[in-house]
Structure 1
Amino acid sequence: MTTITTQRATAARTGRPSHVVADAVTMLRRNLLHIVRYPGLTVFVIGAPVVFLLLFVFVFGGTLGAGLPGVDPGGGRAAYVAYVIPGILAMTIAGTAGGAATTVAMDMTEGITARFRTMAISRAAVLAGHVLGNTIQGIIGVVVVLGVGLLVGFRSTTGPVQWLAAAGLVVLIAFAISWLAVAMGMQSKTVETASNLPMLLLLLPFLGSGFVPTDSMPAGLQWFAEYQPFTPFVETLRGLLLGTPIGSNAVLAIGWCVVIAAAGYAWSMAIYERKSVR
């Protein structure tokens, strides 16, 4: 029995694909159960974007929509619903980072991750469980917010192929943000820090094209908005759902997803390995 355990531990540390996948599924199941047992965080992650959607549509939508290019002032709110939905969807995904970082920090501070490091579990799988669980939570949040958007008047003008592409992009963005959130949670010294650090991601849709066109911003802010990742995320989703021009935004969006996911993975694994040798 000891020999089998030793072999299993060695396989886990050398990253044999079959064991990594099996361990990742186990860790995913654990994180999904955690979401079910503690629904308060999930409700907040999904509820906050819904509140923002209703606030911007019914309080600011008439004025902001009238300022969009080529919009009849009388149809401002209806136009703004279509414009703002992609930004709200991006914000929904960004908002899940706080929950993932908090959960990871709780595992770190309570010693659960330290126990995993001593067990015959793939190190990558421990983190992948958090990533996959948070990705699923992000997808659920997007579906809920999109459903509310349909109730308040959002209507897509594209077909099934574009919707499928938009769904794929949502998964990529959620996956990338989840890796970054896991790294933030592992880097944080306390749970409170972990819950606050990802708040920076929530600002990016506001400082991009999520809520107003970037050409309405001051020059310095406009430059930042055009070169940060959430602007191509939003513009690609907007083009896929509404048929607006996408240009190079799709390539930029996928590229940013790859960069963010790779950076988050390398950062989190470096912290995990460093703490494993202490």
Structure 2
Amino acid sequence: MARVGWRTAGQNVAVSTEYSGTGDPRRSIELLWGVRERPRRGPRPRLTVPGIARAAVEVADAEGLGGLSMRRVAERLDVAAMSLYTYVPGKAELLDIMVDTVLGEQQRPSRVPGGWRGRLEQIARQEWALYRRHPWLLQVATHRPPMGPNVIAKYDYELRAVEGLGLSDVEMDSVVALISGYVHGAARGAVEAAQAERRSGMTDEQWWSAQAPLLAEVVDPERYPIAARVGAAAGRAYNAPAAPEHAFEFGLQRVLDGIDVLIRRRAAAGDGS
């Protein structure tokens, strides 16, 4: 398990890369879909699986994924740690439920203006916002995703954005994966920028103002003419070393341009031209 230093919400914590789908698959499915039969007798349970998941999300939001543990979740719920295991067998299954829980926050309007492009833009911006609210999601490897109701609903909604455009089923899946992968990378850069500001106590503008005069002393613009020209233009535009929001929007439009080429090619092939 890879670990690096990461300060979140004013605290130093260790960030770990966690992997979804590493727990007991049957228990995860039961918990995600609520199919396990509940006791019919006895007192009403004090806790619920959704409530535990929401508390776990709050811990991860505040302390980072490295600060998440069954003990910390129990403390937030003001219960003994062992009592959680009555509902959730362990951290691996808890992580699956957490991922599915936050995906349920996304809005999925039935009508979005702008055709397929507008629909994919809406999906991308929803996911961008989700990562900004829950940056710990970037440390969850979902090669084997938790197949919960919100994961399935998200996938189905995204596929409907490109349904009926002449793409094959595999191409539809690839387009959805392309958008998701792009947003994941862009969001990582944005989250890292925000964390750098918290860690250093300096805004990007302050950092750039301090660095620019020093660079002017040591960098010869005649030796690096293109870097000097473009870097100066970008620095004036961003007043910072980078602009995550601008990079996200610029890159998203270029990804959509590429998808547009694919759709046009499939349409042309369907016309026999």
TM-score for both structures, normalised by structure 2:
0.29
Q: Which has the higher helix share?
A: 1
TM-score for both structures, normalised by structure 1:
0.29
